[in-house]
Amino acid sequence: MFAVIKTGGKQYRVAANDVIKVEKVAGEAGDVVEFVEVLLVGEGENATLGAPLVAGAVVTAEVVEQGRAKKVIAFKKRRRQNSKRTRGHRQELTTIRISEILTGGAKPSAKAKAAPKKAAPKAEAAE
């Protein structure tokens, strides 16, 4: 089974255990994220196409790492004007591993829920 999800203004065709790089998603390595913007779910003739989203469909994924893409150089030069400008940009990316594709309002499995929780910062004693 596969699904088409929308995140970061782009659409991705994903299946279980796929590892993909998407636009930055909040979370640290090991965290579980859910994508609720599912546009299509299924396989072959059994595919369910959303209008615009498939109701009750959720794709869960585990964050593998946070990173950045290669630097892109934007160079502008105006000939005979003694004018040039160089700009660099590195896009923030998140590598994720697709855990499950759920339909019909099903809940994520216990394995997906067992993500490490962020510890609350300790309050300093004010004296």
Cite the DSSP H helix spans in the chain.
Answer: 110-113
φ and ψ of 88, to 5 deg: -115, 155
93 close to 69: Cβ distance less than 8 angstroms: yes
Q: What is the pTM of this model?
A: 0.75
- In this structure, the dihedral spanned by the alpha carbons of residues 72, 75, 76 and 79, taken in order and rounded to 10 degrees, is -150
Q: So what's the pLDDT on residue 125?
A: 52
Q: What is the per-residue pLDDT for 117? A: 44
Mean of the per-residue pLDDT values for the chain?
A: 87
* Per-residue pLDDT tens over the stretch 83-119: 999 999 999 999 999 999 998 877 887 665 554 444 4
Confidence at residue 109, expressed as pLDDT on a 0 to 100 scale: 76
Identify the pLDDT of residue 124: 53
Confidence of residue 4 (pLDDT cuts 50, 70, 90): very high
pLDDT at 114: 54
pLDDT at 73 over 90: yes
Q: Residues 16-66: pLDDT tens digits?
A: 999 999 999 999 999 999 999 999 999 888 888 988 999 999 999 999 999
The DSSP 8-state label assigned to residue 26 in this structure reads S
